[in-house]
Amino acid sequence: MRQKMKKINVSTWKEIGLKEIFDIHPTKSYKYTNKDLLNIDGVNPVIGNSAYNNGIIGYSNLDNTEDGNIITFSDTTSSEAIFYKKNGFIGYPHIQGMYPREKYNNWNEYSYLFLLAIIKKAVASLFKVS
């Protein structure tokens, strides 16, 4: 039997800026050329300026520069390049990370995915052409 989803009570919600909840700054990157960064047999994902493949542009054998459990976005490409990164990865130039401020550091995968859906909808509505 299929269960019905419960409605979320938003009556007590208030507007809050993302910068109040998150410290938004560039991810760490190696600043190598792709030739030196990406490996055919690489195991660690490299997140780049792509709206495809969850932002993964390839894999590397270098150590991850980020721990994961953050939202990333490109500051040079389309609004579709916004993703939740559950696991560690290697940053790339122009990839921004949304790092929760200590007061709000209780995010999990589901709360990030919920927020990601809201952000994507809001960004899409900003760029909607009539």
* pLDDT on residue 92: 92
Quickly count: other Cβ atoms within 10 Å of residue 22's Cβ: 19
Mean pLDDT across 87-115: 93
Give the tens place of pLDDT for each residue, 8-41. 888 998 888 899 999 999 999 999 999 999 999 9
* pLDDT on residue 71: 95
Nearest to 118 by CA among 13, 40, 44, 24: 13
* pLDDT on residue 116: 92
pLDDT of 96 over the 90 cut:
yes
Nearest to 91 by CA among 49, 128, 56, 47: 47
Quickly count: other Cβ atoms within 10 Å of residue 127's Cβ: 9
Give the tens place of pLDDT for each residue, 36-95. 999 999 999 999 998 899 999 999 999 999 999 999 998 887 778 899 999 999 999 999
Range with the poorest average pLDDT among 59-63, 96-100, 119-123: 119-123
| Cα–Cα separations (whole angstroms), residue 79 to 10, 52, 63, 73, 100 | 26, 12, 28, 8, 21
pLDDT of 130 over the 80 cut:
no
* pLDDT on residue 32: 95
* pLDDT on residue 101: 93
* pLDDT on residue 28: 96
